[in-house]
A and B are shown apart, each in its own frame.
Chain A
Amino acid sequence: DSGVTQTPKHLITATGQRVTLRCSPRSGDLSVYWYQQSLDQGLQFLIQYYNGEERAKGNILERFSAQQFPDLHSELNLSSLELGDSALYFCASSPQALGRSEQYFGPGTRLTVT
């Protein structure tokens, strides 16, 4: 158990819909990262927040957005969903801002878009 929690574990929704994935980092960790893992693209970094502020952006689509709240939990919002958005979405946390440290991954949310 990494100490990072993600909800829900599974999510099935239809194309065009919007969903919100939630992540609670390890106690004391200020950085939260979001990743997408699909069969054809592998693990892709989406976005990082540090202490409530966006720190780095990766391959995140404009239809996706994220935020980190004052209690440090984070939400990833996926809108206008397409079949290709079906993937595992992982959240990770670390104590530092720079990313040069061990990241602890949550168990992931499996999103299926039908």
Chain B
Amino acid sequence: GESVGLHLPTLSVQEGDNSIINCAYSNSASDYFIWYKQESGKGPQFIIDIRSNMDKRQGQRVTVLLNKTVKHLSLQIAATQPGDSAVYFCAEIHDYKLSFGAGTTVTVRA
């Protein structure tokens, strides 16, 4: 699978491989985190969320991992498909406010 240790603005993945998208969040007091997917010309779409009292949560083909020690969040996509091509944002919530990361553009190669 394709993975990156640090946040990179782009990620190119072979169709069928697993993808790992990383995100570093800024506020250690944030207690809720969300991954969003944004396709070209559309608004962000919720993928999966995780509360700060958890370190892992699984959805359909996606897994979010939270490491509070190093303030790191990752999104794993299993068996990446062409429809997964999009910009992925992590977001943290603190004090009612949602703050988005810079985003990673994922391109799936056929």
Contacts and interface: CB of A to CB of B under 8 A. Distances in A.
B46 A102 contact: yes
A99 B103 contact: no
Given A43-B89, A99-B93, A102-B34, A33 B44 contact: no
A105 to B, nearest CB: 3
B32 A42 contact: no
A108 B93 CA distance: 22
A91 to B, nearest CB: 8
A44 B103 CA distance: 12
Interface size range of chain A in the complex? 20 to 34
A104 B45 CA distance: 7
Interface in B37-83: 42-46, 49, 51
Contact of B95 (A2, A56, A90): A56
Tell me what chain B mostly uses at the interface: helix, strand, loop, or mixed.
Answer: strand
B43 A108 contact: yes
A45 B98 CA distance: 6
Contacts of B96: 48, 55-56, 98-99
Interface of A: 2, 4, 33, 42-45, 48, 55-56, 58, 90, 92, 98-108
14 contacts: A4-B43, A42-B100, A43-B44, A45-B97, A58-B97, A90-B44, A98-B96, A99-B32, A99-B97, A100-B51, A103-B98, A106-B43, A107-B43, A108-B42
Interface of B: 31-32, 34, 36, 42-46, 49, 51, 89, 93, 95-103
